[in-house]
């Protein structure tokens, strides 16, 4: 799937973000769509084999549709729809736009799949779509194969939606928290200087030498609690649990908010505190009550990619810029604007001051 590693693709995109922020000349700037475009471009490079220019009209439409759907899915309308789908489907409301957006996304992906089919070289697969198409050819005589065009379109669609909005929202929240706590931003910069220096780009290997930064990123994910509730699953057989009987097929919704705010696991869960993930010697330590990517056999498949993106994007930004709020830090509100499927941060602006 090409010659560049995923880490190199993220580093390249992080430099594109740096260039865009430099163009703001330290003027107040809303990072929402820049961050979404950057994260989406990482997925594009893996799935489509190349990135889009930030001003490409089709790309802007794609990012806009995903951003709009994430906010709509996190609205109370979407929650009501989940509870009463047969009733709400007949009513007008913003929830109907969700299906329209998904269809536009599906058609965009289908167009890209057709372009790949026309230019496929079996000897040099360029990306995820090419690899999938080759697998389709290999198993075209197998009546039980799962490798069909419809499966490819929906899998690619899921990669985009699941891999763009969750990570970009985490990054936007991460920047907001660094603006609210400038002393913690300063500690991250000090650690970057020691482990990386001012000239080369941060790499994943640097993570082992940056325990405070690693702890801060974990605390960002715990504190923002981006998915208060996890993806529903169903029990495959009648199950006995704490005196209750869960019949086969019962939907189970993990409540991660209760885990990330458990006072028996975190001394003050309502306070942002990176020491929750530091030991007595200042080293990074994992926590059993940390589940932003779910847990068990069905843990998020994109965890490794998301962790890599969050680390490389945030450290690159702090290495190159002082992130300065446009209001006093104590006035910054980190409570979510919308809370449903996910927690969405309030809109904000900041100044990127070159170091």
Helix, strand, or coil (residue 229): strand
What is the rounded distance in angstroms from the CA atom of residue 308 to the CA atom of residue 236? 34
What DSSP letter does each residue of 151-214 carry, written as one string? HHHHHHHHHHHHHHHHHHHHHHHHHHHHHH-HHHHHHHHHHHHHHT-SSSPP-GGGGGG-HHHH
Residue 11 CB coordination number (10 Å): 20
Residue pair 202/196 in contact by the 8 Å Cβ criterion: yes
Residue pair 307/220 in contact by the 8 Å Cβ criterion: no
What is the rounded distance in angstroms from the CA atom of residue 82 to the CA atom of residue 325? 38
**Which whole-number Å values give the CA distances from 353 to 27, 69, 168, 179, 189, in the listed order?**
9, 32, 21, 12, 13
Give CA 311 to chain center in angstroms: 12
44 is in an annotated binding site: no
Q: Read off the tokens for 34.
A: 């820049």
Q: Which of 327, 329, 347, 328 is nearest to 337 (CA)?
A: 347
**Which whole-number Å values give the CA distances from 71 to 256, 322, 344, in the listed order?**
19, 29, 7
Residue pair 160/105 in contact by the 8 Å Cβ criterion: yes
Q: Which of 210, 199, 214 is nearest to 355 (CA)?
A: 199
Q: Which residues have C-beta within 8 Å of that of residue 23, sequence separation ≥ 6?
A: none
Binding residues for heme: 300
Binding residues: 300
């Amino acid at each position: 799937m090409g010659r560049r590693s995923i880490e190199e693709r993220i580093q390249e995109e992080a430099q594109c973000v740096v260039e865009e922020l430099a163009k703001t000349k330290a003027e107040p700037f809303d990072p929402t769509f820049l961050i979404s475009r950057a994260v989406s471009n990482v997925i594009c490079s893996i799935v489509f084999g190349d990135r889009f220019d930030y001003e490409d009209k089709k790309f802007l439409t794609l990012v806009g549709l995903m951003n709009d759907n994430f906010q709509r899915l996190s609205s109370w309308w979407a929650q009501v729809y989940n509870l009463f789908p047969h009733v709400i489907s007949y009513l007008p409301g913003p929830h109907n736009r969700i299906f329209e957006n998904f269809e536009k996304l599906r058609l965009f992906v289908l167009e890209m799949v057709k372009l790949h089919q026309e230019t496929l070289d079996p000897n040099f697969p360029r990306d995820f779509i090419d690899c999938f198409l080759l697998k389709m050819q290999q198993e075209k005589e197998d009546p039980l194969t799962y490798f069909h065009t419809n499966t490819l379109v929906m899998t690619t669609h899921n990669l985009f939606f699941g891999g763009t909005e969750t990570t970009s929202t985490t990054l936007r929240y991460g920047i907001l928290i660094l603006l609210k706590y400038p002393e913690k931003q300063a500690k991250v910069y000090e650690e970057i200087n020691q482990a990386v220096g001012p000239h080369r780009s941060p790499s994943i290997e640097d993570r082992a030498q940056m325990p405070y930064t690693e702890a801060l990123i974990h605390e960002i994910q715990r504190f923002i609690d981006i998915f208060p509730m996890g993806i529903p699953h169903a029990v495959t057989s009648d199950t006995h649990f704490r005196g209750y009987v869960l019949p086969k097929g019962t939907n189970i919704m993990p409540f991660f908010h209760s885990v990330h705010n458990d006072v028996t696991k975190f001394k003050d869960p309502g306070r942002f505190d990176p020491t929750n993930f530091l030991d007595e010697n200042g080293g990074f330590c994992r926590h059993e009550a940390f589940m932003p990517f779910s847990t068990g056999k069905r843990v998020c498949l994109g965890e490794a990619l998301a962790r890599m993106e969050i680390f490389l994007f945030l450290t690159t930004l702090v290495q190159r810029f002082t992130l300065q709020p446009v209001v006093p830090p104590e006035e910054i509100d980190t409570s979510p604007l919308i809370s449903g499927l996910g927690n969405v941060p309030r809109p904000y602006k900041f100044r990127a001051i070159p170091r």
